[in-house]
Copies of this chain bind each other. A is one copy, B any other.
Amino acid sequence: MNKIRMGIIGYGNMGVGHCNSILSGRTPEIELTCVADVREERRQSAKEYLPKEIAIFSTPEELIESNLCDSVLIALPHYDHPKYVIMALEHDLHVMCEKPAGVYTKQVREMNEIAQKQSKVFGMMYNQRTNHVYRKMHELVHSGKFGQIKRVNWIITNWYRSQAYYNSGGWRATWDGEGGGVLLNQCPHNLDLLQWICGMPSKVQAFCHNGKWHDIEVEDDVTAYLEYPNGATGVFITSTGDLPGTNRFEITMDKAKIVCENDQLSVFELNVSEREFCFTTPNGFPAAEGKYLELETDGLNLQHIGVLNAFAGNILHNTPLVADGTEGIHGLTLSNAMHLSSWLQRPVTLPLDEDLFLEELNKLRMTSKEKRNVQEVSFSTEGTY
């Protein structure tokens, strides 16, 4: 087999983008063979736009059972991810899943168990892990040369969305349709990167504000405070209502401060361990001694293309994935913990009480109301992730 045959389930904002990526010729080991969407107008659009040889199905089930593909990419509303990931795995298909893997971690655990049982590749579309600055941050933190993390501040408020965005799909930004707001739709990448680079916290206290900036029932503004097992603390601040927003990720370590802002990575590397220095210097107000570097990175930022190619490579040559399915659990745990903490108005410790989370989520789903003023529309996702 020289290429994997891929079916894309869901021809909405993300699905269209993935079709374009594959058809652009930048995924030499992937052949797009079929797409599925339950909406007539989207199938119509696919018929007009896609090459004739690509089959178009009106349900995910038909695509999964078509024998036209040996892998699928799931780009559906979040709640449908687990169902169709599992169905595809059970039909002996490899699966790439859009983020988040699911709405609650119990589901994602099950998905991974099935992938393992079926010996199929299950990858997560964590395309931001391909970004050179985040790869470099991961490398720096994990190199060990800077010692332990002391503080993490990520202000990631450049997820601006208008009301028109929320009005573009009935499932969007409802407890029943999406299971959350900015944490579940925009931030899965950031929460994944946060845990990938800095590890998982042991305690989370979050302040989520529902419908603060938009006419929606879920959160569009979050401030979360984190405590890590080693005593480090952090904040994670996000919103879809800040214009212009900020993306500034700062990690203070024993021997360095790493800052990433506007895709520029800078590091101040201390000559000594701060923890030792603190107790040995006779100076009461000492300045930092070391060197400041604006880091050169390899500049590569392959995004979705990189994840797709790694997925094909893993299937065909056993080369590494960008992120395997088990990675879908950690970031989602952060998101679930932030929600639960905010709902209960108290700190939440990890491991998460998954049953309590689901119980509380289901209460909200019961009160969830259908969106008004919905105007179905597909936006170009160029420039967003």
Interface residues of A (CB under 8 A from B): 150-151, 153, 155, 157, 160-165, 168, 205, 207, 209, 212-214, 221, 223, 225, 227, 231, 233, 235, 237, 239, 241-244, 246, 248, 250, 252, 257, 259, 268, 270, 274, 277-279, 281-288, 290, 377, 379-381, 383-384
Contact = CB atoms under 8 A, between A and B. Distances in A.
A270 B252 contact: no
Nearest to A227: B207
Contact of A164 (B281, B379, B380): B281
A288 B244 contact: yes
Given A162-B281, A243-B288, 18 more contacts: A151-B242, A153-B246, A160-B285, A161-B284, A162-B279, A164-B284, A165-B284, A207-B227, A209-B233, A223-B235, A243-B274, A244-B288, A244-B290, A246-B250, A248-B248, A284-B377, A285-B379, A285-B381
- Going nearest first, the 6 A-B pairs with the smallest beta carbon separation are A165-B284, A244-B288, A284-B379, A243-B274, A162-B281, A243-B288
Contacts of A231: 209, 212
A353 to B, nearest CB: 19
A279 B244 contact: no
11 contacts: A151-B237, A163-B279, A164-B282, A209-B231, A212-B231, A235-B235, A243-B274, A244-B287, A246-B257, A284-B379, A285-B379
A163 B285 CA distance: 10
A235 to B, nearest CB: 6
Contact of A268 (B164, B244, B277, B285): B244
Choose among A233, A235, A285, A288 the residue with the greatest number of B CB atoms under 10 Å from its CB: A285
A369 to B, nearest CB: 19
A281 B166 CA distance: 12
Choose among A157, A164, A241 the residue with the greatest number of B CB atoms under 10 Å from its CB: A164
Contacts of A153: 155, 237, 246
A148 to B, nearest CB: 12
Contacts of A237: 151, 153, 235
Given A241-B274, A282-B164, A223 B225 contact: yes
B244 A286 contact: no
Contact of A257 (B242, B250, B274): B242
A84 B283 CA distance: 31
A310 to B, nearest CB: 26
Contacts of A270: 243-244
Contacts of A168: 284
Contacts of A278: 162-163, 213-214, 241, 243
A290 B244 CA distance: 9
B207 A233 contact: yes
A286 B160 contact: yes
B162 A283 contact: yes
Nearest to A345: B347
A161 B252 CA distance: 16
Nearest to A279: B163
A209 B165 CA distance: 41
B162 A151 contact: no
B151 A239 contact: yes
Contact of A150 (B242, B257, B380): B242
A279 B167 CA distance: 10
A101 B7 CA distance: 69
Contacts of A235: 223, 235, 237
Contacts of A379: 283-285
